[in-house]
Amino acid sequence: MDKLQIQGGQKLSGTLRVSGAKNAALPILAATLLTGEPVTLSKAPHLQDVTTMIELLACLGAEVVVDESLNVQVTAAELSNLKAPYELVKTMRASFLVLGPLLARHGYAEVSLPGGCAIGSRPVDQHLKGLQAMGAQIEVVDGYVKAEARNGLTGADIYMDLVTVGGTENLMMAACLARGQTRLRNAAREPEIIDLGNFLAALGAQISGHGTSEIIIEGQRKLGGCQYQIMPDRIEAGTYLIAAAITQGSIRLIDLQPDALSVVLEKLQQAGAQIDTGADWVTLDMRGQRPTAVDVETLPYPGFPTDMQAQFMALNVVAKGSATIRETIFENRFMHVHELNRLGANIELHGPSMAVVHGVDTLKAAPVMATDLRASFSLVLAALAAEGATVIDRIYHIDRGYETIEEKLQQIGAQVCRVS
């Protein structure tokens, strides 16, 4: 099993190009099932989760080709199978997003209940409730959701009881082929939802309001093909900004959407970073200064993203002062705390959703273990700031969400290598 070895203490600086967003690529890949026409996607990141979704599409009978420019072409003209097996869905919960497209276009779908990161229950009841409102008959048998709508789905007015990104995505996709109008209220507003909506519109869907809490979709009889470029990854961008900040360095990121990162940039400014932005770039400079601790509370977009919580905790570990971190989105998302403390951090847990971080002057290298995708990168960040060589085990978690991590870190001056 691969590990990362990081020699800490280097001040990072340089320029990085931001990869395509995993959390946009996965729903967009699922949405290719809505049409029988060819779809070509550029800037899909080369990650284990994306590979898993491509394997799932192929398992369902879609033709998937990755060309020499690493574009992904999907043609889902004739599907041979409408069952998404446990073996694929258990490794990544975004696989569950094929439910809406399969059901809407083929009138039937059988999808295993999802797996993925070990961060709480993350239930799918809102997905199912919405599909039932559109006329689907649903039963859960032996760990599989069996959904049927032999006469097609019908548009509905759906209020989601809580803001759910996956639920919003599944229902947006299903509504594109439903008869009549669907109104999704209390919808998620993440930039990745906007990207999915723009992709659906490129296929010929009639959709408006994506990016607001109310999305309106006029169902179409069929959708066409398109070429589409996936948005940049705001979480990857935020993570590398913190890599520079935690080492008191500087960085320039290109090919990104600064607007999608505004709350993260605000927090980094509070921590003492000098931030400048352009249309598609961001620079951060700590001017050799130690960061100042900043309080963080995770909230649905446009609030502070839960996927940046662990990285800010790492930054606070070496910051001046103390800070409180509150996690309101997912339960069980402080698994990195014990590993950070092994490196010499001073973090107190106050129940399952609050941590108080007291900044320390130095961290010392120690063997640590990754537990989930974002938590894993918090260990990388702490290791970059620690004295000595830290070995991080179970980095397959990192490979699920970060493209070519060693190359990118080496590009900005980190001493990092993969060892087995």
Size of the chain in residues: 420
Judged by DSSP in three states, 412 sits in coil
18 with 410: CB under 8 angstroms? no
HSE of 266, CA atoms in CB hemisphere, 13 A: 11
CA distance readout (Å), 106 to 85, 154, 177, 182, 193: 17, 14, 10, 19, 24
Q: Which of 276, 281, 284 is nearest to 248 (CA)?
A: 284
Check if 117 is active-site. yes
Backbone angles phi, psi at 8, to 5 degrees: -80, 175
Report residue 285 as tokens.
């400079």
Q: In whole angstroms, what separates CA 252 from the centre of its chain?
A: 22
Are the beta carbons of 178 and 154 closer than 8 angstroms?
yes
Of 117, 176, 226, 417, the active-site residue reads 117
Q: Report DSSP state, residue 174.
A: H
Residue type, 206: Q
Residue 247: CB atoms within 10 A of its CB come to 23
292: which 2 tokens?
């100042």
**CA–CA separation, 188 vs 124, rounded Å?**
14
CB neighbours of 17 closer than 8 A, spacing ≥ 6? 253, 254, 255
Question: How far is the C-alpha of 185 from the C-alpha of 159, rounded, in Å?
Answer: 5
Q: Which of 138, 140, 145, 199 is nearest to 172 (CA)?
A: 199
Q: What is the Cα–Cα distance from 205 to 226, expressed in whole angstroms?
A: 12
Q: Report residue 103 as tokens.
A: 């059901």
- CA separation, residue 59 to residues 53, 117, 244, 367 (Å): 10, 22, 41, 39
Tell me how far apart the alpha carbons of residues 234 and 355 are, in angstroms, rounded to a whole number.
Answer: 24
Q: How many other CB atoms are found less than 10 A from the CB of residue 28?
A: 29
Active site residues: 117
